């Protein structure tokens, strides 16, 4: 038994349906609350079919010109770190290169150009590209921490393609290292402390044990890296939760861990290909180990535009009310996703 409570309630809305001669009709939906953070999602009953392709090929081709992350431009137009942090100026691993963010929103903010290719569909990212990219991001965080140990809260982030807020088509990650956690990370840490203060053991251990036993939302694992659909998702197409089961801090992740994480990501990207999903947001969170028993965890949300007018999938409920409208239940998402972890 765990102390985790999965809160959901079913609501009903009545209408006179014009598609059925204005007959009286009841539509049901669910309201769910994330136990750790209090985040609320509204799970709607209808399925939303995505178009076959959403990439604007003309825009993609135009974006190749003077792309700062392409190999012929990167060394001359991207900045270098100050020597106190990275004496080499930039860090490289495989085909990935880490350099400072030209538009920083934290004192230590960096960008990783993942590869030489200007554009890849998600299922074209290889294990090597992902492993090297996240590995050099981790090294950048370690360099900052050596220089400024008080900057203990870090994250590795990925906005892929314009639908997800990506400013460039070229595949790239972003790192943020700060003295204070972001709002969502603070809420998670507060939830972890609250859970332990009630006499429970580590929340993430209990969460994994519960989800593995139930199987409703648990997709699978690669080594000690676990993948599952989130009970109360942050995205309109759901959310995939990633937990490094034995790592407390991003700096502790080994090359083997990155291999396992990357292998799991390639499985997710294969699922995306089948579902015609090209765009997503991903964040891996780290920090706060001194405050409570935590783990490195991540949130991955598919992103899309809504047909037929390519409307954004972010609306007033998410932007101003702090709640998410989701059109696929976490359990349904998992039934499809976990088949890609069974091969």
pLDDT in tens, 54-86: 788 899 999 999 999 999 999 999 999 999 999
pLDDT in tens, 319-328: 999 999 999 9
Q: Band of the pLDDT at 198, cuts 50, 70, 90?
A: very high
Give the pTM: 0.96
| pLDDT at residue 52, rounded to an integer | 61
| pLDDT at residue 292, rounded to an integer | 83
- Every domain of the chain with CATH number 3.30.428.10 lies at 70-341
User: Does the domain spanning 70-341 belong to CATH 3.20.20.30?
Assistant: no
| pLDDT at residue 332, rounded to an integer | 94
The percent of residues above 70 in pLDDT, for the chain, comes to 97
pLDDT in tens, 147-184: 999 999 999 999 999 999 999 999 999 999 999 999 99
| pLDDT at residue 2, rounded to an integer | 82
Q: What is the mean pLDDT of residues 108-135?
A: 98
SS (H, E, C) the chain: CCCCCCEEEEEEEEEEEHHHCCEEEEEEEEEEECCCCCCEEEECCCCCCCCCCCCCHHHHHHHCCCCCCCHHHHHHHCCCCCCCCCCCCCEEECCEEEEECCCCCCCEEEEEECCCCCCCCHHHCCHHHHHHHHHHHHHHHHHHHHHCCCCCEEEEEEEECHHHCCCCCCCEEEEEEECCCCHHHHHHHHHHHHHHHCCCCCHHHHHHHHHHHHCCCEEEEECCEEEEECCCCCCCCCCEEEEECCCCCHHHCCHHHHHHHHHHHHHHHHHHHHHCCCEEEEEEEECCCCCCCCCCEEEEEEECEECCCCEECCCHHHHCCCEEEECCCHHHHHHHHHHHHCC
């Amino acid at each position: 038994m765990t102390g985790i409570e999965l809160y959901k309630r079913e609501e009903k809305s009545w209408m006179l349906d014009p598609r059925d001669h204005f007959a009286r009709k009841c539509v049901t939906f669910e309201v769910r609350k994330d136990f750790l953070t209090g985040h609320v999602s509204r799970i709607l009953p209808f399925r939303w079919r995505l178009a076959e392709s959403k990439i604007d090929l003309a825009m993609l081709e135009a974006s190749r010109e003077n792309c700062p992350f392409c190999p012929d431009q990167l060394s001359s137009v991207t900045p270098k770190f100050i020597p106190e942090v990275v004496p080499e100026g930039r860090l490289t691993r495989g085909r990935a290169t880490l350099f400072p963010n030209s538009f920083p929103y934290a004192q230590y903010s960096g960008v990783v150009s993942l590869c030489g290719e200007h554009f890849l569909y998600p299922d074209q990212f290889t294990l090597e590209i992902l492993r090297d990219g996240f590995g050099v991001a981790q090294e950048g965080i370690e360099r900052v921490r050596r220089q400024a140990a008080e900057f203990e809260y870090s994250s590795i982030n990925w906005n892929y393609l314009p639908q997800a807020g990506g400013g460039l088509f070229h595949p790239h990650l972003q790192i943020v290292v700060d003295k204070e956690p972001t709002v969502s990370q603070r809420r998670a840490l507060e939830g972890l402390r609250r859970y332990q203060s009630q006499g429970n053991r580590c929340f993430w251990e209990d969460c994994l044990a519960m989800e593995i036993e139930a199987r409703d939302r648990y997709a699978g694992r690669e080594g000690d890296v676990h993948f599952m659909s989130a009970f109360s998702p942050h995205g309109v197409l759901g959310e995939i939760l990633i937990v490094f089961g034995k790592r407390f801090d991003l700096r502790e992740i080994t090359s083997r861990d990155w291999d396992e994480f990357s292998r799991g990501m390639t499985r997710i990207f294969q699922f995306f290909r089948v579902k015609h999903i090209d765009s997503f947001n991903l964040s891996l969170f780290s920090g706060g180990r001194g405050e409570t028993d935590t783990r490195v965890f991540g949130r991955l949300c598919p992103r899309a535009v809504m047909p037929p007018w390519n409307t954004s999938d972010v609306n007033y409920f998410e932007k101003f009310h702090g709640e998410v409208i989701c059109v696929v239940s976490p359990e349904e998402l998992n039934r499809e996703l976990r088949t890609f972890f069974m091969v």
